[in-house]
Amino acid sequence: MAMPSSSDLSVPQRLALIRTALGQLREGIDPDALLARSSELEAQMGEPGFWDDSDAAAKVSAEHARVTRKAEAFNALIADAEDLEALAEMAAEDSDMAAELAEQIADVEARIAALEEERLFSGKYDGGDAIVTINSGAGGTDAQDWAEMVLRMEMRWAQARGFKVELLEASAGEEAGIKSAAFRAEGENAYGLFGAEKGVHRLVRISPFDSQARRQTAFAEVQVAPVIDDVGEVVIDMDDVGVDTYRASGAGGQHVNKTDSAVRLTHRPSGIVVQCQNERSQTANKEAALKVLRGKLVELRERERMEEIAKEKGEAQDVGWGSQIRSYVLAPYTMVKDHRTNVEVGDPTRVLDGDLDGFVRAELLRRTGAGTPGGADGGA
């Protein structure tokens, strides 16, 4: 249940919505099952030789931390929500308590929204890290400049979400901007969240590169792939992979114009090309590029599966530059509109600085059939 805007609701109405939302969250989260799983994982971690396999141990430890945190967060939320009832009674008799009550209600609503968001991630890889690739599209120099703006926007959003961000590669444009770039976003639900940004982004503005100051349209594409740490999940025949090395250049290059440390991999059967230049050695760049390639192959496999399902259902597929997911208009008026959810924001600067939460949440809700929050300026 998405919490509606509370600005026009009375305190009793907000408390009633909180009770309803918590009831639904309890069914979806099942805190008792989480605590049982936490105890099970603790038992595994206490077994002799558990830490001998560091990779397996790290996965169990990470799951234990995640499960425990979620259970504790829900139980703390329940306790704080129960305290609201008593605080509301006190505020009814003492007007000085009204401000504290409003603050506590807003805090509980925000925490409910955060837990509800976690329920939107049901895919196999949603909880893991993401490889995000930005490619310039139609629009020449404007498109390459726009691609760099999109890269900055996506990376700033990732950092605001608390993700660790690592730029893997950036290929500079001829005059400005970038032709392409890729970065890794490391954190809980990174892949699930960035999935909502996948697609074509369209910019309309007065071109700073046009001597006649004409309005131009430019496109950039955001691709997202999961990080696949299990090498056995995607088997890559290296006979099918072309390996090229070159000198690192542009943002992210550790040895710019010094060594041929950058690596480009071309997977011939799929046509997928990945490159990495941010590591300190050619070997490390190759390993990083292989990890990106595995993720892109998984993403390709999933996309083909969804397309086949859609074909069987007779559903139309959105393809090509005409199917942009979001438009950023800077002239003759200012607005950012997501074409999937119709969420609009009148301040593009805020969005381009990485304020994407409203757009992402609306798209995740749309995909799960849970509805779309807000209207104009509705939640971004």
Strands of the 215-226 sheet, one edge to the other: 164-172, 178-186, 130-136, 215-226, 199-206, 326-329, 335-338, 344-345
Range of the domain at 182: 127-380
pLDDT at residue 320, rounded to an integer = 42
- 95-106 pLDDT, tens digit per residue, is 788 888 989 999
Q: Other C-beta atoms within 10 Å of 136: how many? A: 27
Domain match, 134 and 237 both? yes
The CA-based angle 295-299-302, given to 5 degrees, is 140
Whether residue 69 sits in one domain with residue 30 = yes
Q: Note whether 340 and 327 are within 8 A (CB).
A: no
Close Cβ partners of 197 (under 8 Å, ≥ 6 residues apart): 132, 154, 222, 224, 356, 360
Is residue 2, in this structure, part of any structural domain at all? Answer: no
pLDDT score for 312? 57
Residues 145 and 227 in one domain: yes
Residues 273 and 137 in one domain: yes
Domain boundary among 60, 90, 118: 118
What local confidence, expressed as pLDDT, does residue 140 receive? 87
Residues of the chain with pLDDT under 70: 1-8, 229-233, 248-260, 305-322, 370-380
pLDDT at 337: 96
- pLDDT tens digit sequence for 277-313: 877 788 888 888 888 888 888 888 877 766 665 565 5
> Could you tell me if 56 and 145 lie in one domain?
no
Nearest-5° Cα angle at 190, 189 to 195: 100
pLDDT of residue 132: 94
For the domain that residue 82 is a member of, what is the CATH number? 1.20.58.410
- pLDDT for res 2: 46
Q: Is 332 inside a domain boundary?
A: yes
Domain assignment present for 4: no
- 0.85 surpassed by pTM: no
The rounded distance, in Å, linking the Cα atoms of 141 and 173 is 7
Mark whether 48 and 145 lie in a shared domain.
Answer: no
Quick one: pLDDT at residue 298? 84
Number of domains in the chain: 2
* Residue 297 burial by Cβ neighbours in a 10 Å radius (0-12, 13-18, 19+): buried
Residue 3 lies in a domain: no
pLDDT, residue 183, reads 93
Q: What is the C-alpha to C-alpha distance for residues 77 and 84, in angstroms, rounded to an integer?
A: 11
Q: What is the pLDDT of residue 165?
A: 94
pLDDT of residue 202: 94
Domain match, 193 and 296 both:
yes
**Residue 350 has what pLDDT?**
96
pLDDT of residue 365: 86
CATH of the domain at 225: 3.30.70.1660
